[in-house]
Every structure is written in structure tokens, then in C-alpha cells.
Amino acid sequence: MDPALWGNLPDHVLDHVLVQLPLPVLSRFRCVCRRFYSLSASRSFLKSYPVSLSPVSFPQPWLVHTYAAASNAYNPAANNWFELSPYFIPDPWFSNVMASMSGLVLLSPLAKGACRPVRIVVFNPYTGFEKRLPPIGHPSAAQMLVDPSGDNYQIFAICEDPDSEEERERWLLHRYTSSSNGWGVLSSQLPIGIFPGSATIDVCNGIVYCTVGYRTPQFGIWAFDMAERRWSRVRLPFLPSYARCQLVSCGKRLMLITRMKDEMAVQNDNCRGSFSCCAQGDLLYIISGATREINVTVFNLATKNVQYAPPLVAAVNSSKTFPFYPRLSTLV
């Protein structure tokens, strides 16, 4: 490049050139100068960034496996694993990945203080920008929704109430909205059957689903209608004592995963036993693992095709596996 030419270009002309670059190339340009670095935080620049160069550069969500400072990602398009930067998750020894959606990752502190409020962090690993949310009670479970535009997002969390002395009223269902930058209480009293230590949250079509007692006779699913502000228990087509299933939300779809088909399990011996599921986009990831090996089966909800990932040699215990969709246009 001719320094004299590039150095004399007006900013708006230079922006027009940069906005045509593929996402990985644009990310490398951030180290050139402060102005280039700040472009990934500029809404006006991101609004003009072609969608075809951002999410379509990665047509399907990755599956990220992280343990301590080691992170690996599975790319279903290439059917391979690759190593991520050790800074992909900030402070991995002190934070827990609670949810991920549209390029954003939700982190909460691992250390649980005695009824002390904590600050949950929303982080975009691709741009490196983060936002610390207003203090709230320590979260037991959380989920997030992101608008298609990437301008706003919501976070739903079951959190402790530091001021409550009653065990039954100790946990609250909260909602955070990025537009107001504040938390609000959706439900001040959870149903008796919801014990937060084992609960998970899924949000679909205006309803918060809370699943508890996975792989136990106390298994149950409760639904909270945000419009009516009312809890109800979801009727299951089987006895709770026989439940070995998981509830997975994916966009406007809600799936109850009970078992894996025999022909799929034959391809992956580890999937005959315990497995976990997560989904994003059109992909459902079925994850199982031995002591030092992660096995992943990918089911495409749109095409109904099944794909088997190469095994990943990595720690299984105390690790976290979650789907991640690299996006530059989703701001924290």
C-alpha cells in the first residue's frame, strides 16, 4: 500500500473501503490505529457493514468448549475443531458462562459471596467489548434474547434476594433490558417445585420456561407467562420419575429432547449414556464425553441431516460447552 495515498484519504472514503472487508480481515485492521480499533464500537459504521460479510462469513454457529484458559471451537461448515485465543473468555478462572446468543456471551462471577450483589458481564468475544450490568443477587440460571437488529437484548435470570429471610421468597425471576440498562422483577415468588440449584431457563414466544430436577424423579417444567404474570406447570407425556430429558429453546422453537435414535447412538458410543444438548440457529448440538474426550453429534433442524464432529481431546469435568455465533454487529 502507498502510505501517501492511504494517509490522505478522507475518513468517509476510508470507511467505505474498510466496510467491504471480510470480518476476519477487518478484525486484524483494528490493531493499526485507535480509530480503526474504535470502528467495531461505532453503530454508524456497523449499520453500513454488509450482513453478507458478517454472519454469513460464518454461516453456522460454532460450538465452543472452554476449560480454564483453554478454549476450542467446532466449525460445522468445515467439520473441524480449532483453538481459540486464551482471552476468548475474560478471567476464565473467576467467571462462569451462563448463556450465549447472537455473538454475545453472558458471564457471572464464580465466587459466591454471602448474599452479596454481583455484576453480571455481557461480552462480545469477537470485538473484545464488554458491559458490566447493574448489581443484582447472585444468579442461579440465566438466558438471553437478542433483537435481530442487534441493537437491544434482554436477560432473564433467577437470582438471590439478599434482603429476604424466607427460603421460599429468597429467589426472584428478574429481567434486564439493555435499552433501559436496568433490572426488573418478573416474579417475586417462584413455585415450590423450583429449586434454583438445579434449574435452567429457556425463553420462547413470551414465556419463560424453568426446568428443574434433570435426571431425577423430581423432574418438572414450569412456564411463566410474562403477559399474564402467572406460573403454570407444563404437563408431560410421561411420568416425571422416568424423565431423562432436556428442554432446549432455539429461536421460536422449543424442543423436548428425551433420547437419541439408535442409529445415531451407534455412530457415537458415548451418546448411549448421559448427554447434554444446546442449540442456536438451525443446529442442535448433542454433546457427550468420557474423561478426556468430547464427542459431538450435530442435527440440522432445517435439513434433518446428521453430522458427527471429530472427537476433541479436552477436559470434561468443570468445563463449559455452548454455541456461539460470531457477530460484529451485536453491540454490548
Pick from 251, 248, 253: nearest CA to 276:
248
In this predicted model, what pLDDT tens digit does every residue of 209-268 receive, in sequence order?
A: 998 876 666 778 899 999 999 999 988 877 655 555 678 887 788 888 776 666 666 665
Q: What is the pLDDT of residue 243?
A: 52
> Is 331 within the bounds of a domain?
no
46-55, 89-98, 110-119, 239-248: lowest mean pLDDT where?
46-55
Average pLDDT, the chain: 80
> Is 128 within the bounds of a domain?
yes
Residue 16 shares a structural domain with residue 124: no
Name the domain count of the chain.
2
Residue 262 shares a structural domain with residue 175: yes
Q: Using the CB atoms, write b or e for 92-130: b if 16+ within 10 Å.
A: beebebbbbbbbbbbbbbeeeeeeeebebbbbbbbbbee
- Three-state DSSP class for residue 171: strand
Domain ends where: 57, 72, 104?
Answer: 57
Q: What is the pLDDT of residue 145?
A: 93
Decide which of 99 and 327 is more confident.
99
Cα of 17 vs its chain's centroid, Å:
32
Pick from 63, 96, 130, 90: nearest CA to 326:
63
> Is 330 within the bounds of a domain?
no
Q: What is the pLDDT of residue 249?
A: 81
All three cell numbers of 50: 454488509
68-72, 110-114, 304-308: lowest mean pLDDT where?
110-114
Long-range CB contact pairs, 223-228, < 8 A, 24+: 224/173, 224/186, 224/187, 226/175, 226/186
Residue 7's pLDDT band (cuts 50, 70, 90): low
Residue 275 shares a structural domain with residue 150: yes
DSSP H helices, 223-331, are 262-267
- Structural domain of 42: 1-57
Q: Is the dihedral of CA 187, 193, 196, 201 positive or negative?
A: negative
User: For residues 105 and 91, is the Cβ–Cβ distance under 8 A?
Assistant: no
Decide which of 220 and 175 is more confident.
175
pTM higher than the cut 0.85: no
Residue 55's pLDDT band (cuts 50, 70, 90): very low
48-62, 73-87, 316-330: lowest mean pLDDT where?
48-62
Residue 53 shares a structural domain with residue 63: no
Residue 87 shares a structural domain with residue 28: no
Q: Which amino acid is at 132?
A: R
